[in-house]
Amino acid sequence: MLNLFSFRTMAIIKRELKAQVMTKTFIFSTIFVPILMVALMAFMTFIMRYESEDKINVEVLVERSELVELIATDYENSKNFNHKNFVVSVKVVKRDGLESYIDSIKPDLLEGTLNGVFFLPFDDGLEKIIEYYSANPKNTNITRKINELVNSVLVESHFSGKSVSSKDIEYARNSMDLQNFKISEKEGVEKDNYGAFILAGVLAFMLYMSLILIGMQILKAVVEEKENRIVEVLLSSVHANELMSAKIIATTLAGLTQIIIWMLPFIFVSITSILVLPEKLQFSISLFQIGYFILNYGVGLVIFLGLYAAVGALFDNMSEAQQGAMPIMFLILIPFYVCFSMLKDPTNFIAEISSMLPFASIIVMPVRMAVVDVPLWEVGVALSVNILTLLFVFSFAGKIYRIGVLKSGKKPQWKEVYRWIRD
């Protein structure tokens, strides 16, 4: 059995660590990637909340004349509108004249001088229906505000003349303010908020980006050493398995160093009360979760680095190697998308199963732990599956690397690769 921690292996690990850690790229990415992630999240929030400064002009058409003054008054008193840029005019138009009216203003709608027309038909029942005609009917910034405005007016109109106080009408117009409280095995209850989902998103993004970037890094290194025949010089003094293992260990140590630095803000928040986030952004993360995240990341990184190294040994140039690595990227990409399903329901069946499946559990389980309480046995199953997956990957990755890294010229067929694994 090869001694993977021999003097030669340790020398390669030191060499690889120095080559990876003591570089401007590593230092830059370690320091600025967290800043970039925060900036990206802030940018996404800004984009989602951004409202154009362009002037918006809409018309609300009603069949009931008494609604004209109510809508106009509520619009003037509403704080949801920037009255300089968002102009609402109200007119009376009957159903039988709607089609001809739309035809008459169609040029304005197409040119954008009129953004849209809302039609509120007469209804003496309990249904509240409003129709929207526009060249861009998917502009939720417009539809949301008008919908709230008209709904408020309809509530007021419905109770008008009845023995209902103004406070009752105001109560009926207001929407529900949902407050969530999390029940766990801890004593008491704790208020739940958006912080857990933000944490889950950050963890998923860190795992996704790190596994792909570091994986592509070792893929490139293996291909370049093979292409420049440096690997032949190295293999004259060390065994192929020692070389591959040393590369993977060094790259994993560099990746763990980086991920621990990225996790420092979460560790700081979890063990101190110096930094208090706004209530809606607060999250709860235990040292156990942090420890599992780092351990899980280390095991997962070794798994994917083994796959990337094996694929890199099969090809003589980077373009072909990148194509060959596409299936590995899908093993990272699919679990990343599974994490989005937890935004709607963190306990959904797909997320639960994926968090204990090979490859998928590396990303899904830490994210799931950030938003819900996961039974300890499921965490144990996920970690056991990852360790077994690691052993399985290295049962064939070493064979592929040992033979493939010395082959050049014609690209090996998959049947030939299978024969290397079997023999």
pLDDT for 175 equals: 66
Highest mean pLDDT among 116-125, 320-329, 398-407: 320-329
- Mean pLDDT confidence for 189-197: 66
Mean pLDDT lowest among 127-141, 177-191, 212-226, 313-327: 177-191
Give the closest residue to 357 by CA, choosing from 330, 391, 384, 329.
384
- CA 222 vs CA 47, 214, 414: distances in Å: 40, 13, 19
Is the model more confident about 16 or about 103?
103
pLDDT score recorded for residue 281: 61
Largest CA distance in the chain: 96
Q: Cα separations (Å) of 378 from 292, 297, 349, 353?
A: 13, 17, 14, 10
pLDDT exceeding 70 applies to what percent of the chain? 83
Q: CA 166 to CA 182: how far, in whole Å?
A: 36
Q: Identify the CATH assignment for 56-175 out of 1.20.144, 3.40.50, 3.40.190, 3.30.720.
A: 3.40.190
- Inter-residue contact 138 to 50 (CB < 8 Å): no
At residue 1, the pLDDT reads: 39
**What is the structure's pLDDT at 282?**
63
Structure tokens at 159: 């109770």
Residue 369 and residue 50: Cα distance in Å, rounded? 32
Provide the 10 A C-beta neighbour count for residue 32.
11
Confidence of residue 169 (pLDDT cuts 50, 70, 90): low
Contact (Cβ atoms closer than 8 angstroms) between residue 270 and residue 199: no
How many CA atoms lie less than 13 Å away from 309 in the CB half-sphere?
29
Give the lowest-confidence range in 203-212, 330-339, 407-416: 407-416
DSSP per-residue letters across 332-394: HHHHHHHHHHTTT-TT-HHHHHHTTSTTHHHHHHHHHHHHS---HHHHHHHHHHHHHHHHHHH
User: What does the mean pLDDT of the chain come to?
Assistant: 82
* Spatial contact of 346 and 374, defined as CB atoms under 8 Å apart: no
pLDDT score recorded for residue 159: 75
Instruction: Look at residue 405 and give its three-state secondary structure.
Output: coil
Q: With contact defined as beta carbons under 8 Å apart, do 346 and 368 qualify?
A: yes
Distance CA 279, CA 179 (A): 12
Q: What stretches of 176-194 show up as alpha helix (H) in DSSP? A: none
Number of H helices, E strands in the chain: 16, 6
Tell me what the mean pLDDT of segment 169-187 comes to: 64
pLDDT for the residue numbered 83: 83
Q: Which residue would you say has higher pLDDT here, 347 or 134?
A: 134
Predicted pLDDT of residue 317: 84
- The yes-or-no verdict on residue 125 having pLDDT over 70 is no
Other CB atoms within 10 A of residue 126 CB: 6
pLDDT of 377 higher than 90: yes
Q: What is the pLDDT of residue 2?
A: 47
Using 50, 70 and 90 to split pLDDT, how confident is the model at 408? confident
pLDDT at position 89 over 70: yes
Q: 134-146, pLDDT tens digit by residue? A: 988 888 888 888 8
Query: Quick one: average pLDDT of 273-285?
Result: 60
| pLDDT per position as a tens digit, 199-251 | 788 888 888 988 998 899 889 888 888 888 888 777 777 888 888 888 888 88
- Sign of the C-alpha dihedral, residues 396, 398, 403, 409? positive
Describe the strand order of the beta sheet including 131-133 as a list of residue ranges. 86-92, 56-62, 116-120, 131-133
Cα 210 vs. chain centroid, distance in angstroms? Answer: 14
Is the pLDDT assigned to residue 59 strictly greater than 90? yes
What's the rounded Cα separation, in Å, for the pair 48 and 39? 14
Residue that wins the pLDDT comparison between 206 and 178: 206
Question: Which band of pLDDT confidence, cut at 50, 70 and 90, is reported for residue 386?
Answer: very high
Q: Is the pLDDT of residue 254 over 60?
A: yes
Q: Between 115 and 83, name the one with better pLDDT.
A: 115
89: left (phi over 0), alpha (psi -120 to 50) or beta: beta
Residue extents of the structural domains in the chain? 7-42+184-422, 56-175
